[in-house]
Chain A
Amino acid sequence: MTVTVKTFARLADAAGALAQERGARFLAGGTLVMRAVNEADPAIETIVRSTDPNFATIGVSSGRIELGAGVTMAAILAERELTFLHPVARAVGGPAVREAATVGGNLFAPSPYGDFATALLALDAIVMLAGGVGQREAPLDDFLGRRDRGNALVSGVAFKRPAADAFRFLKVTRVHPKGVSVLSIAAQLPFASGRVAGARIAYGAMGQSPLRAKAAERALEGRALDAAGIAPALAVAADGTSPTDDAIASAWWRREILPVHLRRLLLGAGQA
């Protein structure tokens, strides 16, 4: 059985094909789909692609950042307005992978992959979906929970630019800098009068998909970022996580080291 490739100039048409064709998968960078095709994954019968230029655009307006789903990690690294995201993009594979790996693709990368999606989760991103009637939007948190169902086409993500120095990211890996994550942590830590106000903390490789550490977020509210201040958050660091054993690390190990790395990130020692 051969695979059919369909290329569309307009993203909306690609979305339509994705919804209609049997066994259709959208191909962006290829790190996930081409690997599966190489292995003769029977679930993929049609590859859907788009050459729509809007798909790979970076939009920076006052306070709001929009990333087309086709924006690559390399493009992020080349964008001076997005330096706060550079540690994340740099942690996704080596140079050749970064030329291919996309923002949209990373949303579908199975755990323990998905470091960029983890960062977007901490940035409170929304996902924009193409096709259907008009543009639909969904909070990334919700989207990740149902990403394996249905055949939606992500056209991009959007989020508010974080306050200067409020965004932090670290990735724990055996092979620097490109290895698969043992775990990753992204955090947005806005301050009000020297205290944390409205923290967002997201973990990668600590569950079926990137997830928010809501217990730790609540425990950080109104606290100072010093050893005493973060202690309650560290105590509940692993609440809500469900890491698995895989070839990279065991669930036990991930749970053990999570508070260590969260501590380093919060105290400023663990920047990627």
Chain B
Amino acid sequence: MLEFRKDIFADERDDNLKEVGQPTQRQDMLGHVTGTSPYYDDHRFANLLHLKILRSPHAHARIRSIDDSAAARAPGVKRIIRAADVPVNLNTLLSLIQFGKDDEPSLATDVVRYKGEPILGIVATSERAALEALALVRVSYDQLPAVFDVEEALKPGAPSVNAAYPKNTFEYYNKYDHQKLRYGDADAAFAQADIVIDERYQMSPIEHAPTETNGSITVPDTNGRYIVYTSTQALFFSLDTSAKINAIQSNQLHFIGGTVGGGFGGKVDTLTEPLCILAARLIGAPVRYRFSRHEEMQFGSPRGGERIYVKDGVMKNGRIIARKVRAYFDSGAYTRLSSYAVVKCAAHIPGPYTIPNVHGDIFCVFTNRTPATAMRGFGVTALDFALECQMDKGATAVGMDPLEYRILNAYRDGDMKAHRREAKNCALIECAQVAAEKANWPLRDEFRKMSSRQGGGAAHAGATADRTRAPAPAVAARTPASAQKSTPQRIAYERPAPATPARPAPPAPPPRSAPPPPAAPSAGSTHGAPRFSSVFGTRRR
């Protein structure tokens, strides 16, 4: 049962809730239990054709030759779709917001870079006829060395996976091969720490496995437009991507989705619509492109695997004084959304804890695996797994209760975060306290009395509420590294008594160089989506 703890932050609460807390029925629930919720495939069309795709059996290979002559003559075959038929055969999903280079073909041309990569399409009068024709296509390959591990991919001499990013990392601002977060001096702090905990964490790729596989049906409409029934989670995103690949105007497409039979992030990559639309345009008949379960497992994009190294410097009293994170996202052979996941990861370090010295390096790495995509909080979920395991290890190392350890290190209002933004509206401490209460988990008195609103960093010059003002520089010029003092920045927490005085101001923030300027917008861009400030580093006003 839902319980509201209105006693917590009571003075901040505007208690006029009408809908929140009341059960409300889903608008589609009646449709679900009567089998009438319309999924993309719940339509019948006279003379529906079926698109099936020939896929690479190799993780990395050069295509020497393709002979589809027998397939073209096979019974029921209406049309073969080849790489040359695709109007814009190189794309990256986030080109819609001008982020990243076009790196992925809809149909492979000279090289295949992951097992399952599409090479050729066959449209036929039945799925069986299309599958039988596919079996008649002869492709000869020269296999190439492949790499499946993110750290192996970054070693010199590793096979180059992605032609647009030959060093196997995504490039931020066309220059940097990773995302970086620096706050204080973590290495110096480790030297001062009582305990150092250095661990490696790994999450494997995870397949969404929705009960409904990815698919779409394109139906030519009467006025030069195409109606597309699709399983996508992202109608406009998929529409724009499909328009770009087909080199047609967005207003020539009418996307109808709505009921997704399980998405979880695995139905945003627009994997079926572009070729489905192309087939319908080339033939002038309705076409369905539906993933088999095997395709969904092998070719449908998974949550990318991640390898995360976390190193904590911890004092005997339980305070974490330094955290260093090095993370590698396995994007698979192409970028898709992993470039953005890495930015989210960088934004999440070091977790909801106030740590005065933070060091993060996060890489988006290309390997010969199935290209990865979004899934349930991607960019953050795996990192949290790593960080929270690390928190438990830290608690054990200092002999402290794991909840108390977290409460001690939690953000408090007014703390300066590693991203140089002031923590506000923190509530981790209160959540932990209520969880402990519900679980009958004993907490010592002083931890039950701690509060997110007490003990946080005092306002220091230029760095509070008004984020539009650049903070005053601490030093006029940057001192060379050799002359810099290696005293790590510290925020001194005393164990607060109930009426705690304001904490001493922390030492002057370390010298900062200006952030890199955002990339200039490309002139005449056709997709005028608003920019995301997290992507470009500009601040929202």
Contact = CB atoms under 8 A, between A and B. Distances in A.
A118 B135 CA distance: 35
A133 interface: no
B292 A40 contact: no
B131 A1 contact: no
A39 interface: yes
A39 B75 CA distance: 17
Interface string B117-134: 000000000011001100
Of the four ranges (under 10, 10 to 19, 20 to 34, 35 or more), the interface on chain A belongs to under 10
B75 A42 contact: no
Contacts of B127: 40
Contacts of B75: 1
A100 B249 CA distance: 51
Contacts of A2: 128
A39 B132 contact: no
Interface in B105-159: 127-128, 131-132, 135
Contacts of B292: 39
Nearest to B76: A1
A263 to B, nearest CB: 30
Contacts of A1: 75, 128, 132
B166 to A, nearest CB: 33
Interface string A24-40: 00000000000000011
A2 B127 CA distance: 12
Contacts of B128: 1-2, 40
A42 B133 CA distance: 11
Contacts of B135: 40, 42
A80 to B, nearest CB: 37
B532 to A, nearest CB: 38
Contacts of A40: 127-128, 131-132, 135
Interface string B298-332: 00000000000000000000000000000000000
Contacts of A42: 132, 135
Interface in A16-53: 39-40, 42
A2 B132 CA distance: 10
A172 B325 CA distance: 39
14 contacts: A1-B75, A1-B128, A1-B132, A2-B128, A39-B131, A39-B292, A39-B294, A40-B127, A40-B128, A40-B131, A40-B132, A40-B135, A42-B132, A42-B135
Interface of B: 75, 127-128, 131-132, 135, 292, 294
6 A-B pairs closest in CB distance: A40-B131, A40-B128, A40-B132, A1-B132, A42-B135, A42-B132
